[in-house]
Amino acid sequence: MARFLFCSLASPGFLLPAIGIAERLRQVGHEVAFVTDVSCSETLKRRRLVRYSRGRQDGPSFQVELWGQLLAIAIQVKHVEYAIAGFKPDVLVGQQLTLGPLIAGERHGIPVALIGLATYIWPSKNRPMPADPAMEHFRTKQFNEMLKLYNEVRVGFGLSPCPYQRAEQRLAGDLFLLRTVPELEGSTKHLPQQVHCIGDCLWNEGDADEELNAWLDESVRTNKTIFYAQHGRFFNSPHFWPKIIQMALEHKISIAAATGRMDALAGDTPSNIFVRRDLNQGIVLARAHAMISSANTTSVLGSVTAGIPSVLIPSGGEQPWLAQRCHEAGIAKVLSPEEASAERIWEALTSSLQDPLMLSAAKRLAQSFARINSMELAADLLSRLAISQTAVFRLSTAS
C-alpha cells in the first residue's frame, strides 16, 4: 500500500480526472488525499476524499486563473508541504501547470507524477518540424516563459536554477501521464521517456440531470441537430459566443453550451440554447452530432471519445497544438478566432457532418481511446512509481 497526494488546480477540467485516478488507486488498496482550493471541499467530501487545508488558517490555493503567478505558486508549495507533514505521501501527483508540487517534491525527496493535457505542449529536440514554423516558435516561447517562472520559484525556495538542457526532463516530473493515444499525438519517440499515453481519463460524478435530459429528449423529438458548445478563455482574441447565439436564431438546431471558463457573461439566449457554467458533457456528447469548442483538453477528449467531429476555434494555452492534432487526424475543422463568423462556423459544421472521411476518422479514433482503460493504466503507472521511487520510463520501442 502506498500514499498518493493529489495536487490539483481548482476547476472541473483538472480536478475531476484527478478524482477518477484517485478513486482507482483507492479501489486497489492505496491511500489518497488532496490539496486544492477550499472551493473544492464539497466535491471531495461527496467522494469521501480527504482534502488537506492550506494550514491552520485555510484560504485560496491552486486557483486555475493564477497558476502562473509567483505568489500563487509559493502558496502551492507551502500548501503541499503542510499536507506532506500530515499525510506523509510516497508520491505527489500534480498537473502540467502546477509548479508547486515539483518544488515541494524536490525539497522533500518525494517523486512527482504529473497529469498532462491531451497533447504534449513543450518543444522536444527530435520533434518533427510542423508545417507552420511559427507554431513551433510560439511553443518554444511558452516553454521559456515556464522555465523562467520555474527558476524564479526555485531560487525563492533556496534551490539552484535549472539549466535549459535539463529543463524538459525536470518539467515532466518522474512520470508524465499524457491524456491521449499515439494515434492522436503522432509519434511519441521524440518525447521524454517518462511520458506515457494513458487515454482520456475523463471522469464525472454521474449524477442524474433531469432538466438537461428532458431538453435533449425534446430536441430529438423535434428532429433538431444537436451541437455541444464549449467556450473557454479568449486569451485576448475575439470570442465566438455571439456567433453561437446567431446560429441558434437562424437555424433549426439545439445547442447545449458550457460557459464556465468564458471571459464574459452568457447574457440572454434563445430557448434552443441550453446554457450552464458547467455541464456534464458526457450526457450531451452521447447525443450530439458535432462540437464547437475552443479546443481545450476536456472538451476535445469528450468529442473524440464520443466519436463525433468538431469545429475548433483555438486562441491560447494548449488549444492551438491540440487543434492542430485534431486537424491532422482528420476529425476537426479549425478556424482562427478572427475568421470564425457565424457563417463560417455553420459552414464548417455542416460540411463536417456531410464528410464520410471525417465521420469515419472520428469513429476510428474513438475506438482507439476505448481500447484503453485510462484510470487503470494511470493507477498502475503511479503504483510503479511508488514502488521504484524513481522515474518510470516507457519501453524504448514505443512508437
Residues 6+ apart with CB under 8 A from 329: 183, 184, 361, 365
Q: Which of 74-78, 138-142, 244-248, 284-288 has the lowest mean pLDDT?
A: 138-142
pLDDT digits (tens, 9 = 90+) for 153-181: 999 999 999 999 899 999 999 999 999 99
Residues 6+ apart with CB under 8 A from 342: 242, 243, 246, 247, 250
Q: How far apart are the first and last CA of the chain?
A: 32
Longest alpha-carbon distance in the chain: 64
Nearest to 146 by CA among 126, 128, 172, 125: 172
Q: Which of 10-24, 134-148, 158-172 has the lowest mean pLDDT?
A: 134-148
**What whole-number percentage of the chain has pLDDT above 70?**
96
- Taken in order of first residue, the domains within the chain and their CATH numbers are 3-199+372-388 (3.40.50.2000), 210-370 (3.40.50.2000)
- Whether 287 shows a pLDDT value over 80: the answer reads yes
What integer is the mean pLDDT of 68-72? Answer: 95
- Whether 7 shows a pLDDT value over 80: the answer reads yes
- 3-state class (DSSP) for residue 261: coil
* Residue 121 grid coordinates: 505542449
> What's the rounded Cα separation, in Å, for the pair 371 and 361?
16
Residues 6+ apart with CB under 8 A from 121: 96, 139, 142, 318, 321
Give the pLDDT score at 139: 84
What's the pTM? 0.94
pLDDT digits (tens, 9 = 90+) for 324-373: 999 999 999 999 999 999 999 999 999 999 999 999 999 999 999 999 99
The CB-based long-range contact list for 314-320 (8 Å cut-off, 24+ gap) reads 315/232, 315/233, 315/234, 315/235, 315/236, 315/237, 316/233, 316/235, 316/236, 316/237, 317/232, 317/233, 317/235, 318/117, 318/118, 318/119, 318/121, 319/232, 319/294, 319/295, 320/135, 320/138, 320/295
What integer is the mean pLDDT of 231-255? Answer: 88
* Residue 261 grid coordinates: 471558463
